[in-house]
Amino acid sequence: MSVIRRAPDRPPATSPNDERYLDPRDLEAELRRTFQICHECRMCVGYCGSFPELFARVDRDIEAGVAEGAEALTYEDFKAIGDECWQCKLCYIKCPYTADEHAYELLDYPRALARERAVRAQREGIPLVDRILGEPQLIGELGSGVVAPLSNLVQASRLLRKVQEKVTGISSEFPLPELARKPFSSWFAEHSPAADAGKHGSVVLFATCYGEYNTPGVPEAAVRVLEHNGYAVHVPGCSSTGGDPRDAETGRLTCCGMPNLDGGDLDAFMAKVKENVALLLPHVRMGRKIVVVGPTCGYTMKKEWPEYLQTAEAREVAAATVDMMELLVQLGREKKLNREFKKGLGTIAYHAACHLRAQKIGFPGARVLGVVPDTEVRVVEQCSAVDGTWGMKAAHYETGRKYASKLVRGVADADVIVSDCTLAGLRMVKENGATVLHPVEALAHAYGLGPTSSLGPKS
C-alpha cells in the first residue's frame, strides 16, 4: 500500500498542548506523510543533510521492491533523518506546502523533526551531549567571572578537549566561545546611561546567554547604540547606574530554551519559556519592545514561544519582540535613526544568518550598515551549519564543515566580516582565521562610541 498525498484530518500537532504531540503512532503517520511529499518534491535537497538522507532511504525501499514511497520507513530511518536536520528553518521558508502559503498539504518539516526528537527523548532519554549543550546559561554561570581564565585555559587545551569529546560528545574541533571575565550584567550594573537615553522611549534588552557570558561586547555595543539613538535600556533583574530601581525587582531572564528544544527536552524548554514570559510581560504592557541581539533567540521568542505555549501572554510577548537591527531599520523609516557617523567600515561581507532569514524581516543589519559612509555591504546568504547546538557535536562536525564551505568562501577578502549569529561567527573564525563582528558592534565602531569588544574592523 503506497502513501498518498493528502491533507491531514486535522492540522499537524505542533504544540505539546495537543494530545497527539507525544503520541508515537500519530507522529509516525505525520512523518510518513511529510516524507512522502518531500520525496516527490525534492526542492530542498541542497539545504541540509536530512533531505539526502530521506531521499536515499525512500529510494532504497523502492528499489528493493518493498515500498512505493515512504510507507516502509522504520523508527531507525526516522532517527537517522532527524539527526541530519540542524533546524535552520530554511526549508520551511522555501516550502510551497506550508500554512504560510495556504497550501492544502500543510507541511512543517522542521517542527515535525523537532517533534520526532521530543518523542525520541521520551522513549530513550536525553543524551548527555544534549543535556550539557542545553544549558548554556548554567555553563556560563559556572565558568565566567573570576574563574574565566581557568575555564578558557581548559578550552584551549587540545588534549583536554579530546578527552571532553570522548566523555560529552562535544566536538574538540569546534571553537567553543571563550567565557567572559566580566559578564554583561556586571558591566551594565556599572554603566551610566548616555545623556539622550530615553528621549524616544525605553526598551528591554534580551542579551542572550552568549551575550551575557561569552561575548558581552555585543550587548554592550547594543546598549551604547540604543542610547545613542534615544532609548533607555532596561535589563530585567539588573539596574544600571541611574536606571529605574524597580527593574531590579523583576527577576533575571533565563535562556530562551532553544538548546533544550534541540535536544528534545520539552519540560526544560517549557519551564524557561513560562519564566521568561512572566518576567517580560509587565515590560511589554508598559509599552517597551524586547530587543534581541541573537537571531536564534529572536526566532525562538517570536515563533516558538507562542506556538508551544499557546497562551495570550506568550503571543503578546512575541509580538513585542524585535531583532536589534530590525528596530534600527524601523527608526530609519521614521527618520529617527542617528546618522552622525565618525568612521566608514570599508567592504563588509554580511552573513545573513539562517534564523534571521527565517523571521522574514529581510537583512536589517545590512540595510543599517549600508547607510554608513565609505561602506559597501555584500550579503552572503549561506548557512553556517551550526544553528544552535547541532554543529557543536562531534558526530556532525565534518558534515557541518562541508555544508558551511560556501559561507567560508563567500566572506573571504572583505575588510570586515559581520554576522548577527555568534555561533556562525565562530565557524568563520575557525575556517577563515578572521575577525567577525556583530552588526551592532560594527555600527558602534562607525558611530565612534568607544570600545565595543576586543574585536574591530581590519585596518
pLDDT at 432: 85
pLDDT, tens digit, for every residue of 274-300? 999 999 999 999 999 999 999 999 999
pLDDT at 459: 38
Which residues lie below 8 Å from residue 343, measured CB to CB, with a gap of 6+? 445, 446, 448
How many Å apart are CA 397 and CA 404, to the nearest integer? 10
Q: In terms of residues, how long is the chain?
A: 459
> What values do phi and psi take at 334, rounded to 5?
-90, 5
Point out which residues pair with 322 in neighbouring strands.
291
Whole-structure pTM value = 0.92
Provide the grid cell at 3: 502513501
- For the cut 70, the answer to whether the pLDDT of residue 453 exceeds it is no
pLDDT at 429: 86
* Mean pLDDT computed over every residue of the chain: 91
pLDDT at 8: 66
- For the cut 60, the answer to whether the pLDDT of residue 243 exceeds it is no
Mean pLDDT of 223-246: 81
The amino acid occupying position 196 is: D
DSSP 213-247: HT-THHHHHHHHHHHHTTEEEEBTTBPPTTS-GGG
How many Å apart are CA 447 and CA 224, to the nearest integer? 10
Which residues lie below 8 Å from residue 58, measured CB to CB, with a gap of 6+? 35, 36, 39, 67, 69, 70, 73
Mean pLDDT of 248-257: 80
| 3-state DSSP assignment of residue 377 | strand
- For the cut 80, the answer to whether the pLDDT of residue 242 exceeds it is no
Mean pLDDT of 214-241: 91
Confirm if 459 and 346 have CB atoms less than 8 A apart.
no
pLDDT at 456: 40
pLDDT at 303: 96
pLDDT, tens digit, for every residue of 404-440? 999 999 998 888 899 999 889 989 988 888 889 999 9
pLDDT at 455: 35
How many Å apart are CA 32 and CA 70, to the nearest integer? 6
- For the cut 80, the answer to whether the pLDDT of residue 254 exceeds it is yes
pLDDT at 104: 81
How many Å apart are CA 295 and CA 384, to the nearest integer? 13
pLDDT, tens digit, for every residue of 374-396? 999 999 999 999 988 899 999 99
Share of the chain above pLDDT 70, in %: 93
Provide the grid cell at 377: 555591504
HSE (CB half, 13 Å, CA atoms) of 44?
A: 28
pLDDT, tens digit, for every residue of 297-308? 999 999 999 999
Share of the chain above pLDDT 90, in %: 81
Mean pLDDT of 151-160: 89
- For the cut 60, the answer to whether the pLDDT of residue 119 exceeds it is yes
Q: Residue 4: which pLDDT band, with cuts at 50, 70 and 90?
A: low
pLDDT, tens digit, for every residue of 348-359? 999 999 999 999
How many Å apart are CA 48 and CA 88, to the nearest integer? 8
**How many beta carbons lie within 10 A of that of residue 114, not counting itself?**
22
- For the cut 70, the answer to whether the pLDDT of residue 240 exceeds it is no
pLDDT, tens digit, for every residue of 9-28? 788 999 999 999 999 999 99
